[in-house]
């Protein structure tokens, strides 16, 4: 027995030691494995870790305010509370919904559904942007699962009045239309970012991953628009549209000397505070810049300028207007008030299509085409408004022998209301075409002036000063004093202007629609030194009540001029009798 014992003990010790040392080697190999994980596999694993652990939260930048030309706030961010529910803290969904629903004016079922659908999140929006009373009612519930979160919400104090100019801001904080869209980059600023370490349920661990990036607040804007004039224009236009049972209309008030737009309204309008409730996208369109129309007779002064400038007609020449009925080629053209011989003043004052057509035929297609282009038609005015249409001036090769008579009457050419008033502004402004504008100044987030757009921007001279002055001070004054524009002279100011009545094509197909008219008037006052230029277009008035520009649009322009000049404290014209005293 003892013979065997010695080798067995030795075998046991040796094999036991070998196996245990083997285990130690195994453990050491696992330590090497750790090093391998931390070197070769590390990049991929660290990427996984940071991807799942880091959550970015946005620090919103404050959107800049918009002021009118006199510093009134017309758009600002307001902090409004959102009502939300944290489903993780809700014990009984039905009971909570029953308690919460009446306070936020929602059906209990809708609230319960919303909570259930968001059961996996910790933030279920119940009612966005509630008022203070609702907020207090929700707060008084004292339920930890229901919370109020402040959120910036764009607010427009002037609501409908400024809607088309300003546009609105979408849920994501981006400008959707108007100035809000055109200057979105300036207003929006740059949002900051905070990187937080989060647990697996996306809750912040309160530890910063990286240094936060501070937001850069948006800058402010000062418009050329005057909110008061805007209100005057909107009220007058809406009243005119209502009175003539029209489909809608546009009005623009401009300072002719520097191209500043003082007011720009469209009717019907919408509430930019609740843009999604507007009946249709059409109501949200700023038709004053997006929709080109055939301007009708209001176009005649533009042609007249060139005709006088280049001697196609003189101020004294008398043209036979064929007693209101004349054939140009095979087309029969009629005048509403038949006349025999008329000089250019008579043609404009009576708005004679025949007289104007004869002059236009003398000018020919090339000169007419060049005239339109010189007045900036067929191209965008460059106003700071998104979606501006360039209108339509056909290329010369598509013009026919009938084109001169058509263009002379304001057909075969499509202009936006803004293009039309801007062309008129050139006539009133001694023949110099300006670039219209809506924004006067760009301010930084602390109110410092970043860029002033105050200096007027001249496009070109379109007609000589003498001709422009003659057309404005003589012909267009005569229209209001003696002709079709009489109803624009409603106040103590002397007004100049031109009427226009155009037939409208069907909205869904070609051809002119019977009984569908566009009533136009463009007027300026006071005559001696025009401070404001006003355009009014009324779309599809009820022809039973009236449809001529003289009847429908001219009174609206008169009303706007009267109230605006009073607001601007422009002294009424001195009565000649008083002056001579």
Partner 1 sequence: MTLEGHNKPAQSAAVFIVAMALMAIGLVMVASTSASLDRSSFTWPLWRTPFGRQMVFVLIGFAVMIVTSRLAMPLLASPEMRRRTSQVAFVIAVACLIAALIPSLASPHRGSHRWLRLAIGGIGGMDIGFQPSELAKLAMVAIVASLLTERGADPRSFRRCFLPASIAIAVCVLLVGMEDFGTAALLAGIGVAMLFVAGCRLRHLSVLSAVGACGLTVLLYAAPYRLARLTAYKELWEDPQGKAYQPLQSLTTIASGGWLGMGLGSGVQKYGYLPESRTDFIFAVICEELGIFGGALVIGLFCALVWLGLRAMLAAPSRFERLLAFGLAATIGLQSAMNIAVVTVVTPTTGISLPLISAGGSSLLTFCLALGVLAAISARGNKMASLSLEADVPGRRVVGMARMGDATAW
Under the rule (CB under 8 A), what is the footprint of partner 1? 1-2, 5-6, 8-17, 19-21, 23-24, 26-28, 30-31, 33-35, 37-38, 41-42, 44-46, 48-49, 52-53, 197, 199-201, 203, 205
Would you say 27 or 578 has its CB closer to partner 1?
27
Would you say 14 or 95 has its CB closer to partner 1?
14
The CA distance from 99 to 572, in Å, is 64
* Per-residue CA distances from 417 to 57, 265, 294, 358, 517 (Å): 46, 11, 10, 26, 15
Residue 422 contacts residue 434 (beta carbons within 8 Å): yes
Residue 58 contacts residue 137 (beta carbons within 8 Å): no
Which contiguous run of DSSP H or E holds residue 236? helix 227-243
Please state the closest distance from residue 53 (CB atom) to partner 1, in A: 5
Which ranges in 40-154 belong to alpha helices (H)? 42-53, 93-104, 108-117, 132-139
Please state the closest distance from residue 61 (CB atom) to partner 1, in A: 29
Residue 224 contacts residue 253 (beta carbons within 8 Å): no
CA-nearest of 497, 499, 503 to 411 is 503
Would you say 2 or 580 has its CB closer to partner 1?
2
Would you say 47 or 149 has its CB closer to partner 1?
47
Would you say 27 or 579 has its CB closer to partner 1?
27
Please state the closest distance from residue 40 (CB atom) to partner 1, in A: 10
Please state the closest distance from residue 211 (CB atom) to partner 1, in A: 18
The CA distance from 146 to 294, in Å, is 58
Provide the sign of the torsion angle of the four alpha carbons 553, 559, 562, 565, taken in this order. negative
Please state the closest distance from residue 95 (CB atom) to partner 1, in A: 24
CA-nearest of 551, 487, 479 to 517 is 551
Would you say 42 or 95 has its CB closer to partner 1?
42
Would you say 73 or 197 has its CB closer to partner 1?
197
Please state the closest distance from residue 125 (CB atom) to partner 1, in A: 23
State the burial class of residue 13 (Cβ atoms within 10 Å of its Cβ: 0-12, 13-18, 19+).
exposed
Please state the closest distance from residue 7 (CB atom) to partner 1, in A: 9
Please state the closest distance from residue 56 (CB atom) to partner 1, in A: 16
The CA distance from 182 to 439, in Å, is 10
**What is the CB-side half-sphere exposure of residue 140 using CA atoms within 13 A?**
8
Going by their DSSP bridges, the two strands 439-443 and 220-223 should be labelled as antiparallel
Would you say 88 or 282 has its CB closer to partner 1?
88
Tell me phi and psi for residue 515, to 5 degrees: 80, 5
Which ranges in 375-428 belong to alpha helices (H)? 403-408, 417-428
Would you say 209 or 212 has its CB closer to partner 1?
209
Please state the closest distance from residue 51 (CB atom) to partner 1, in A: 10
Please state the closest distance from residue 11 (CB atom) to partner 1, in A: 5
| Residue at token pair 């509370």 | 81
Please state the closest distance from residue 18 (CB atom) to partner 1, in A: 9
Provide the sign of the torsion angle of the four alpha carbons 123, 126, 130, 134, taken in this order. negative
Would you say 86 or 310 has its CB closer to partner 1?
86
Would you say 201 or 398 has its CB closer to partner 1?
201
- In sequence order, the β-bridge partners of residue 354 are none
Residue 177 contacts residue 168 (beta carbons within 8 Å): yes
Would you say 36 or 506 has its CB closer to partner 1?
36
Cis preceding linkage at 526, omega within 30: yes
The CA distance from 64 to 59, in Å, is 16
- How far out from the chain centre does Cα 408 lie? 32
Going by their DSSP bridges, the two strands 73-85 and 146-155 should be labelled as antiparallel
Please state the closest distance from residue 91 (CB atom) to partner 1, in A: 16
The CA distance from 461 to 434, in Å, is 9
Residue 534 contacts residue 251 (beta carbons within 8 Å): yes
Q: What is the CA radius of gyration of the chain?
A: 36
The CA distance from 454 to 445, in Å, is 19
Please state the closest distance from residue 84 (CB atom) to partner 1, in A: 19
Please state the closest distance from residue 96 (CB atom) to partner 1, in A: 21
Which contiguous run of DSSP H or E holds residue 325? strand 325-328
Would you say 198 or 345 has its CB closer to partner 1?
198
Would you say 52 or 465 has its CB closer to partner 1?
52
């Amino acid at each position: 027995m003892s013979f065997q014992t010695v080798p067995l003990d030795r075998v046991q010790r040796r094999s036991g030691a070998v196996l245990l040392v083997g285990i130690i080697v195994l453990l050491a190999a696992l330590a090497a494995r750790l090093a391998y994980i931390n070197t070769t596999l590390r990049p991929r694993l660290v990427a996984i870790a940071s991807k799942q652990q880091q959550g970015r939260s946005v620090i919103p930048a404050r959107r800049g305010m918009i002021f009118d030309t006199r510093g009134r706030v017309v758009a600002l961010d307001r902090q409004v509370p959102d009502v939300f529910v944290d489903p993780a803290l809700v014990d009984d969904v039905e009971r909570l919904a029953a308690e919460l629903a009446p306070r936020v004016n929602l059906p209990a079922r809708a609230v319960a559904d919303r909570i259930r659908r968001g059961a996996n999140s910790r933030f279920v929006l119940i009612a966005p942007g509630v008022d203070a009373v609702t907020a207090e009612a929700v707060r008084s519930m004292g339920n930890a699962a229901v919370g109020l979160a402040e959120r910036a919400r764009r607010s427009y104090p002037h609501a409908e009045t400024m809607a088309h100019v300003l546009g609105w801001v979408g849920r994501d904080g981006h400008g959707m239309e108007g100035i809000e869209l055109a200057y979105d980059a300036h207003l929006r600023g740059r949002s900051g970012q905070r990187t937080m370490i989060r647990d697996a349920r996306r809750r912040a661990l309160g530890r910063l991953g990286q240094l936060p990036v501070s937001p850069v607040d948006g800058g402010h804007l000062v418009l050329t628009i005057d909110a008061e004039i805007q209100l005057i224009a909107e009220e007058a236009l809406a009243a005119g549209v209502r009175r003539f049972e029209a489909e809608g209309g546009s009005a623009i008030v401009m300072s002719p000397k520097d191209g500043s737009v003082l007011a720009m309204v469209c009717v019907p309008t919408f509430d930019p505070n609740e843009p999604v409730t507007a009946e249709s996208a059409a109501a949200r369109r700023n038709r004053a810049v997006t929709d080109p129309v055939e301007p009708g007779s209001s176009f005649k002064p533009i042609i007249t300028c060139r005709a006088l400038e280049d001697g196609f007609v003189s101020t004294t020449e008398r043209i036979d207007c064929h007693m209101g009925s004349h054939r140009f080629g095979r087309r029969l053209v009629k005048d509403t008030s038949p006349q025999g011989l008329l000089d250019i003043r008579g043609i404009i004052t009576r708005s004679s299509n025949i007289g104007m057509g004869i002059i236009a035929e003398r000018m020919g297609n090339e000169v007419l085409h060049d005239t339109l282009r010189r007045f900036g038609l067929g191209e965008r005015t460059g106003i700071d408004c998104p979606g501006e249409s360039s209108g339509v001036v056909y290329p010369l090769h598509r013009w026919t022998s009938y084109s001169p008579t058509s263009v002379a009457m304001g057909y075969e050419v499509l202009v936006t209301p803004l293009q039309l008033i801007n062309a008129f502004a050139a006539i009133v402004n001694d023949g110099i075409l300006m670039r219209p504008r809506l924004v006067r100044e760009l301010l930084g987030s602390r109110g410092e002036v970043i860029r002033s757009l105050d200096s007027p921007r001249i496009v070109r001279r379109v007609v000589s000063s003498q001709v422009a002055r003659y057309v404005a001070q003589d012909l267009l004054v005569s229209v209001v004093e003696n002709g079709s524009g009489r109803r624009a002279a409603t106040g103590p100011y002397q007004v100049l202007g031109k009427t226009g009545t155009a037939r409208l094509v069907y909205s869904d197909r070609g051809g002119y629609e019977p009984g569908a008219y566009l009533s136009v008037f463009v007027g300026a006052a006071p005559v001696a030194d025009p401070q404001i230029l006003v355009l009014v277009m009324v779309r599809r008035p009820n022809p039973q009540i009236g449809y001529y520009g003289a009847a429908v649009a001219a009174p609206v322009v008169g009303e706007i001029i009267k109230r605006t000049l009073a607001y601007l404290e422009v002294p009424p014209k001195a009565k000649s009798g008083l002056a001579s005293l």
